[in-house]
Amino acid sequence: MSESISEKDEKELIRKEFESLIENCPKCQTKDGYKMVKKAFDLANEAHGGVRRKSGEPYILHPIEVARIASEEIGLGATGVSAALLHDVIEDTDYTYEDLSHIFGEKVASIVDGLTKLDGVFDKNKSAQAENFRKLLLTMIEDIRVILIKLADRLHNMRTLGSMPEHKRLKIAGETLFMFAPLAHRLGLHAIKTELEDLSLKYEHPSIYNDITSKIESKELQNKDILEKFIDPIKNILDDAGINYEIKSRPKSVFSIWTKMQKQNVTIDEIYDLLAIRIVFRSNELLPEKAQCWNIYSLITDIYKPKPDRLRDWVSTPKANGYEALHATVMGPRGKWVEIQVRSERMHDIAERGFAAHYKYKGLSEKESELENWLQRIRDLLENPSQDSLEFMDDFKLNLFSSEISIFTPKGDVKVLPKGATVLDFAFDIHTHLGHKCIGAKVNYKLVPVSHVLKSGDQVEIITSEKQTPKYEWLSTVTTAKAKTSIKSVFKKERKELVSKGEQLLQSELSKKKLTIHKRILDKILHYYKIEKKDELYFKIASDKISLKDLDKVLRKKTTNKWIKYWTLSFGAGKKKETPKPKIDKRKSVILTDDTDKNDYIIASCCNPIPGDDVVGYVDEDQKVILHNRKCPVALKLMSSQGNKLVSAEWSTHKLLSFLAIIKLTGIDQMGIVSKITKVISDDQNVNMRSINFESHDGIFEGNIFLYIHNVEDLNNLIYNIMRIKGVHTVERQERMQQQ
């Protein structure tokens, strides 16, 4: 039977895509390289034969595209490209690790195995997403190509995310923003990090993404005209100086614009570096690159006046991910600020392709060792097997993605620590023994306690005492993995015994009431004492920090949460067992209207979303939907670790229920301004005012108004009406996002 035309077309498409991959991968064109890559392609094509993606295209096109990203955008060679072509083979087909090891060798097989998700049933208290992430990192510290291919895989998945159902889109986008975009940044893959962030925003907040994109497009012609006028004098002065260069306009990413608007409470027009150019020069071997960067900066500032507080020198002190460049913001035509980035071709290559590009250049052992330092810090984190997967993800993000600070020793050596590190973290970073004996420090010659939070540029001298011993409370003081692991190891045995003793004490008390340590009972007690983990509860019971005398009161305490029905039944007050609620279909979006049973959903207290906000639902074990604002840090964490419990949710019109919102106002303090504002609010039939607070200083007023409103549309209408009052300068909604 002859093949259909579509099958022939697909085979031809697959062949062309593979040829394009080889054509754009110089390292795959050697005899041995081509042989390995062709063999990997043939095996993957046969293994994935007949399988299609959600979009309907043949599955093999996905590994080909991942291999292309790994080659062209990251710079991997034949081994990496072969592993990328095979990255889903162990997970999705009948081929095993042993098969790949036999055919391609141990190296390719181990990379593919590192990219394979874990099988089997997980402990219900653990997160499958977090456990797989831990496994990925365990393999990564042996071969960095594992994470580079994973980033290529994630980028292609994000580019084709539109074909997935919304609850899956939210899970994947949230995980990308929480873990993979920062990981790409940490590895110096700027272009990939930027695209991952923009795509995450596109699927998490489509209306915000579309709004910013349309504003950028509407200003495109105007901005292009400003940049052309701005660039012409620079070209003339660089040409006269005999510099070999290329100038490109650098569009600001949608995500970075949105982040700045959020952080600084500004509109898109008020962002300084919305207009930006990049000058990439060919280095003159007779002069140091650093001197050439400063020379170009000097020539430009002869034409345009710089903004002093916007100079960023990452040439003298490169970022920890290897990024080198000189950034400055200068006043351009029509009173517009323009950001300039100056970098050499070598710096540009490293900025776009990250650590993988370092190996192209000789004499960069210092940069490679920086990568090794980072991998060693991951090893320190992974060496703590008792840590649960979610705690591990928190520590990983805190230690390895946060901004970094440079701290000086008394001798002038520099130590790099995560932002938020304390004196104690610094002591442990130097040596474990120094940490154990630390009683304080002199920071810039001033005496401070062990809990003092350090700032970049501090010079620190640790003060020790031989009488000092580690304290368990130090765990709440330190942030680095090395310090936490060192402190925990001291208390490991003692703590284990106390945890066991605490569990026995609790069981003994519950036995008197003919109860056992059941998950619901444990959740009730943990909730009452505001403790997250059961081991911490047992430890506090054994340490006499929690008394069991009040156990009866704790168990009977009335609450508005999901435990009410259970406790009335446990103590004989319930009459009839309630029919369990049907499971929520996560494939369908939850529509919330005035008629929705208020007992079916909970408004998360960490972010207090209101109708009209972009929301996501988290389904708890009682099939209640907990609604979070998608901007909420807690929601982002849930997307990245508990994605299988998410459901997409959206508000319909709300005109009956009221929700609390806060608006912040600033303006010129003049007679009667407050009464004008309150009149506008009282005249609005859709809004009720709960409280108002105004402060005035030096002719300027600031105020907060707490309101009960039905939805975002009503709130926006009110904001518009208040803005029309003469003397009012800004009116903004205050979104109460709590970090957890």
C-alpha 100/C-alpha 80 separation (Å) is 14
Tell me which residue of 409, 264, 284, 271 sits closest to 339, measured CA to CA: 271
Catalytic residue check, 380: no
CA atoms within 13 A on the CB side of 740: 17
Tell me which residue of 640, 634, 695 sits closest to 664, measured CA to CA: 695
- Decide: helix, strand or coil at residue 601: strand
- Among 10, 17, 72, 91, the active-site one is 91
Q: Strand pairing partners for 245? A: 281
Question: In sequence order, which ranges of 308-420 are alpha helices (DSSP H)?
Answer: 345-353, 355-358, 365-382, 389-400
Residue entry with tokens 């097989």: 109
Give the other-Cβ count within 10 Å of 13's Cβ: 14
Residue 272 has phi, psi (to 5 degrees) of: -60, -50
> Which whole-number Å values give the CA distances from 360 to 23, 71, 371, in the listed order?
20, 14, 15
Determine which helix (DSSP H) or strand (DSSP E) holds 650, and give its type and residue range.
strand 646-651
- Decide: helix, strand or coil at residue 612: coil
Contacts of 722 by beta carbon, 8 Å cutoff, 6+ apart: 663, 665, 677, 680, 681, 728, 731
CA atoms within 13 A on the CB side of 428: 26
For residue 432, give both structure tokens: 């474990």
Catalytic residue check, 269: no
Residue entry with tokens 């979070």: 628
Residue entry with tokens 């390289």: 33
- Among 17, 92, 391, 394, the active-site one is 92
Residue type, position 484, single letter: K
C-alpha 720/C-alpha 27 separation (Å) is 59
Asked whether the beta carbons of 61 and 9 are under 8 A apart, the reply is no
Q: Strand pairing partners for 728? A: 667
C-alpha 333/C-alpha 398 separation (Å) is 41
Residue type, position 527, single letter: H
627 burial (CB, 10 Å; 0-12 / 13-18 / 19+) is: buried
Residues labelled catalytic: 91-92
